Structure 1
């Protein structure tokens, strides 16, 4: 059943040269797009992955490894540059655009614009939250894994301005995309630089001195190998009640750190995603910084820094530095042992390590001044990465807000 719009199609934010123009048209998806099922495969066309982040893109470009047989490829569809693809996840992330020629699974619906207009305009609109809301609202009963059909898409009305206004909107949003892409590259470059610097500032496997050393420590000699238990006190987190998710214990003033919070920190400050009340505190324990946190169950060896008083779960251990040990350096040193810890973790239904395993973990340690110098250097890079990442999120939020203003949203009703 087709739908029509009852409200005038005029965006909240309009470029000056179009403000006196009439409202936008609303057109059925079926009048704007044809369904394409071209199975005339040319040799050498890449298999496309259809992703929410990258659109339709050759699998090798995103390190996507899913094997397909030659027999199954015979049924694949050809996707041309400028085509749109409805995927199994379109009810979550909208309809994807392809900047590449390739082939895709026959499970996907390939769309090709049939009218005048601008690909980039529709590329942006078909990914907006508002379009996704309309898409899912008019597809009652849609669930994960159920495909949106061409018939269902064809009965949706899409807001369509003149070709000139489409171009203006597309140019504006595409310029923001370029800014976001440049910022992503900046963050990636900083992260790569930090990773390379860490590999130089910390000794490699089988060596006792780093390849790169600050001038004042050039002649300081080899680092000393010590067991982790000799340089810090190891305390396991606590949450004794079972089941763990009993709501009676949550929603208070005490931060409660869980495994996922440590993983998300990527070695930096850990932020609690949950809190405990007084009853929750009675079955847990409050820890004071500085403490290095390390995950010891399921996720093995992820680390972060506790910078504020907090409780943490018993699937996380706290490494409390002893005198002469700089917490930020200890985190770096232990982070470098992640793969080793994963290898030695006892095989079980869920891998885990205990205090005994951690206490004999070998760690190479320089003198305190060199520990601090290394940590300060890498922390300064972390700060640059944080600032650049925050700028990236600001650009994304600005684009999202702009998209909400540049596209009209009229309530759909049944015809």
Structure 2
């Protein structure tokens, strides 16, 4: 194995390698060979590369095959080969590199840089180096401007193949790759668990709420099976708006809330002094209220407040509604507005163009008719059922994020620092 740079050492090594020599560094030009074979008349899937995802068919990413007359000039890439997409992204500002796996053969745009690793190196190990963005840290100095008109960075093949990869002996490369691959499998399994829960909830929602044109849901809890039919009621008959204005003191510290889209709930902003709020109208957050973001209500920016928001404030863009006695459960209404039917109604009450122009009209919102059980106990049962699944999804999602964070920290230990490379 030819070493091209000074030796380096990671912070963490497996016990069997701790007393071995320090790592060397190998230029990509010495570790691989460029791929120049053209697709020609072969019928292959034209692909692109998405940061964080890898290879995707062009028809899936762009909605159509964009290869056109350039197709025959595309590069023939086989399983095991690597491709560098020098388009910038948030995840990989200097471009991303992925190894083709499970596709057999594809057609890659010839503006990408394709290469095949020499047999003395472990492909999975190099893929983790690219995932850690070891290449990006070195290419950064060559990028003198933003993306060109075609969206690609001005990185030449010579500059790319001059990237230096920290390389221990092959058996240590394999050990690192095996360790991270096993962790990836755990992360993937946890990701599937989260998606299964989300799919289960979507299916349950379809059963617990009546479908369009139907008076009753397909599924009811046993204790309510013989209850009367559901009915439609205007929001104004179920809720009343509450707005307790705050007299902002310049030197007093306040904490505002916001509402995420897609039913992702309330979030708490950083504390600020009253003088930073200025003339903006703000109101006390009321507990157990239905609250909406009028700018993104059409995107299901709807939530309910809890004891966690006591003492906080919200701007006039976040109207709050409390239940009229005995009329409804606000948690049920939140769950209703997170259904497709609820989303449609929020869109109806948010006239205008796209994005920030689709502002929720509060009068229009109060005139909306929603479908719900006559019994508030049944509303609560539905809300509690769905909330319990939401809690499970949130718990498993936190585990997933924790695993991803563990992997990121482990990679920082298993590879030398960028400065050392």
Q: 1:233–1:322: 8 Å Cα contact kept in structure 2?
A: yes
Q: Do the aligned partners of residues 70 and 153 (structure 1) sit closer, same or farther apart at CA in structure 2, a change above 3 Å counting?
A: closer
Which has the higher mean CA deviation after the structures are superposed, 100-109 or 179-188?
100-109
2:335 pairs with 332, 355, 363, which one?
332
Q: Deviations over 1:127-176 (max 9, x none)?
A: 1155533332x325353442433211222211111111111111000000
Pick closer, same or farther for the CA change 1:368–1:393 going to 2, 3 Å. Answer: same
Instruction: Give TM-score, length-normalised by structure 1.
Output: 0.86
Q: CA separation in 1, counterparts of 2:270 and 2:361? A: 24
Q: Deviations over 1:285-314 (max 9, x none)?
A: 222221222233256233222221333344
81-90 or 377-386, larger mean C-alpha shift: 81-90
Query: How many Å separate the matches in 2 of 1:201 and 1:148?
Result: 55
CA change 1:218–1:270 in 2 (3 A) is same
For the aligned residue pairs, the C-alpha RMSD in angstroms reads 3.0
**8 Å contact kept, 1:267–1:304:** yes
| Residue 139 (str. 1) matches residue 131 (str. 2) | no
Superposed, 1:263-278 pairs within 5 Å as 263=261, 266-278=262-274
Residue segments in structure 1 that go unaligned for 5+ positions in a row? 240-248
Superimposed CA distance per residue, residues 54-113 of structure 1 (whole angstroms, 9 cap, x where no aligned partner)? 2123356x6662442532433322222122222202435642222133122233222221
Q: Which structure ranks higher in relative contact order (CA pairs < 8 Å, sequence separation ≥ 6)?
A: 1
Question: How does 1:26-65 map onto structure 2 within 5 Å?
Answer: 26-41=25-40, 43-59=42-58, 65=63
Q: Secondary structure at the match of 1:47?
A: strand
Structure 2: state its 5+ residue gaps. Answer: none
Correspondence 1:155 to 2:162: yes
Q: 2:320 matched to 1:318?
A: yes
CA distance in 2, matches of 1:196, 1:63: 27
Q: Select between 30-39 and 190-199 the one with higher mean Cα deviation.
A: 30-39
In structure 2, the CA distance between the partners of 1:236 and 1:132, relative to structure 1 (3 Å rule), is farther
Distance 1:77 1:408 in 2: 33
Give CA deviations for 1:379-404 in whole Å, capped at 9, x if unaligned.
11111111110110111111111111
Q: Which range is displaced more, 85-94 or 120-129?
A: 85-94
Q: What is the distance in 2 between the residues matched to 1:154 and 1:205?
A: 59
CA distance in structure 1 between the partners assigned to 2:397 and 2:414 by the alignment: 26
Cα deviation for residue 238 of structure 1 reads 9.0
User: For the structure 1 residues 135 and 30, does the alpha-carbon distance in structure 2 shift closer, same or farther, using more than 3 Å as the test?
Assistant: same
* Residue matched to 1:125: 129
Which residue of structure 1 aligns with residue 221 of structure 2? 214
Contact 1:200 1:210 (8 Å CA) reproduced: yes
TM-score by length of 2: 0.85
DSSP 3-state at the match of 2:255: strand
- Deviation readout 1:316-351 (Å, 9 max, x if unpaired): 332322223222111011223113332563234622
Q: Secondary structure at the match of 1:271?
A: strand
1:116 aligns with 2:114: no
**Residue 77 of structure 2 aligns with which residue?**
79
Alignment of 1:251-330 (within 5 A): 253-258=253-258, 261-263=259-261, 266-279=262-275, 280=277, 283=280, 284-298=282-296, 300=298, 301-307=300-306, 308-309=309-310, 310-324=312-326, 325-330=328-333
The one of 68, 76, 99 aligned to 1:70: 68
Superimposed CA distance per residue, residues 175-215 of structure 1 (whole angstroms, 9 cap, x where no aligned partner)? 00110000000000000001110110111112221110000
- Residues 123, 297 of structure 1: CA spacing in aligned structure 2 closer, same or farther, 3 A cutoff? same
Answering whether residue 384 of structure 2 is matched by residue 388 of structure 1, we say no
For 1:52 and 1:33, locate their aligned partners in 2 and report how far apart those are by CA, in whole Å: 22
For 2:400 and 2:362, the matched residues in 1 are separated by: 39
Q: Which residue of 179, 188, 207 corresponds with 1:181? A: 188
Structure 2 residue aligned with 1:245: none
Go from structure 1 to structure 2 and tell me whether the alpha carbon gap of 1:130 and 1:285 turns closer, same or farther (over 3 Å shift). Answer: farther
Change (3 A) 1:320 1:276: farther
Following superposition, the deviation at residue 22 of structure 1 comes to: 1.1
Change (3 A) 1:376 1:157: same
Whether the aligned pair in 2 keeps the contact of 1:85 and 1:109 (CA below 8 Å) is yes
Deviates more, 1:380-389 or 1:51-60: 51-60
Please give the alpha-carbon distance, in whole angstroms, between the structure 1 residues aligned to 2:108 and 2:418: 33
Q: Which residue of 2 aligns with 1:244?
A: none
What does residue 172 of structure 2 align with? 165
Between the two proteins, the alignment pairs up a number of residues equal to 397
